[in-house]
């Protein structure tokens, strides 16, 4: 069966550098266009990921990082289930400024492709939704996610199907499993942006230290 081509379906997928990605999102945030597009496209990434996450995270008091939080769609979902201790990192200052009050404890402008300032074993869980995609955050970021997550903590992520193999996410996931740095608890193809015929792998891994 021929592989589905998804790289031309959404303009953001043509961007190559971190600088281009940041500029694009800064503009996409203007007049709330990003959130409007996500509603129009019926983007289900945040809802699907949080639905999967809550089945594995029974303690609501845990410290969570939303890595690539954008305008806060994941935080809004998490609050529906009473997870309140959530921080958000994102590259786009403009999108961070659009995050509504009351969903995140701390919001920081962070490039997730670079080493993080966060100390070891700081978070109980990381959610990373929509951020492993064309030109965005690369597989090596998962090593940093593991470093800052506690033993038995959860890393919950989506990976756009169009870059899963091309960017080496398949190999990185296997390497982390083979090295017993995490155990994959769930891994399946999610709807994500089904209206545009773009799906994503959705994974939940438990960190081993
Ligand atoms: C498709 S949006 C997803 C945002 C949010 N998680 C959601 O589901 O609505 C991708 C996000 O990744 C962020 N991003 C892209 N490259 C990044 C990087 N190198 N470091 C941090 N965030 C990045 C963008 O600014 C954008 O907010």
Q: Write out pLDDT tens, residues 23-70.
A: 999 999 999 999 999 999 999 999 999 999 999 999 999 999 999 999
Phi/psi of residue 128, nearest 5 degrees = -135, 100
Report the CATH number that the domain containing residue 166 is assigned in CATH: 3.40.50.150
Distance from residue 90's CA to the centre of ligand 1 (Å): 6
Distance from residue 113's CA to the centre of ligand 1 (Å): 11
Q: Is the pLDDT assigned to residue 183 strictly greater than 80?
A: yes
Q: Is 112 a pocket residue for ligand 1 (Cβ < 6 Å)?
A: yes
Report the SS3 class of residue 180.
coil
Q: Is 45 a pocket residue for ligand 1 (Cβ < 6 Å)?
A: yes
Q: What is the DSSP string of 59-114?
A: -TT--EEEET-TTTHHHHHHHHTT---EEEEES-HHHHHHSPTTS-SEEEE--TTS
Residue 132 inside a domain? The answer is yes
Arithmetic mean of pLDDT, 153-177: 97
What is the overall mean pLDDT for the chain? 95
Residue 172 inside a domain? The answer is yes
Q: Which domain holds residue 149?
A: 11-207
Angle between helices 141-148 and 169-178 (to 10 degrees): 40
Residue 155 inside a domain? The answer is yes
Beta partners for residue 158, in sequence order: 202
Residue 179 inside a domain? The answer is yes
Residue 6 inside a domain? The answer is no
Q: Is the pLDDT assigned to residue 1 strictly greater than 50?
A: no
- Please state the domain count of the chain: 1
Beta partners for residue 125, in sequence order: 64, 154
Q: What is the DSSP string of 37-61?
A: HHHHTT--HHHHHHHHHHTT---TT
Q: Is 192 a pocket residue for ligand 1 (Cβ < 6 Å)?
A: no
Residue 26 inside a domain? The answer is yes
pTM: predicted TM-score of the whole model, two decimal places:
0.97
In ligand 1, which atom is closest to the CA atom of 136? Answer: 16
Residue 3 inside a domain? The answer is no
Residue 5 inside a domain? The answer is no
């Amino acid at each position: 069966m021929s592989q589905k081509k998804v790289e031309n379906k959404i303009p953001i997928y043509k961007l190559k550098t971190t600088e281009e990605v940041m500029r694009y999102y800064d503009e996409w945030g203007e007049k709330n266009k990003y959130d409007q597009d996500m509603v129009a496209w019926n983007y289900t990434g945040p809802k699907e990921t949080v639905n999967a996450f809550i089945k594995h995270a029974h303690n609501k008091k845990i410290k969570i990082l939303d890595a690539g939080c954008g305008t806060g769609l994941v935080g809004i979902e998490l609050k529906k289930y009473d997870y309140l201790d959530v921080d958000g990192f994102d590259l786009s200052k403009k999108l961070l400024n659009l995050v509504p009050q009351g969903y995140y404890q701390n919001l920081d402008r962070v490039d997730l492709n670079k080493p993080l300032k966060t100390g070891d074993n700081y978070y109980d869980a990381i959610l990373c939704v929509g951020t492993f995609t064309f030109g965005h955050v690369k597989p090596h970021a998962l090593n940093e996610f593991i470093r800052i997550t506690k033993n038995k903590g959860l890393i919950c992520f989506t990976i756009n199907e169009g870059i899963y193999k091309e960017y080496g996410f398949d190999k990185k996931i296997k390497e982390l499993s083979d090295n017993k740095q995490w155990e994959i608890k769930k891994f399946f193809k999610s709807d994500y942006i089904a209206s545009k015929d773009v799906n994503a792998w959705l994974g939940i891994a438990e960190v081993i230290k």
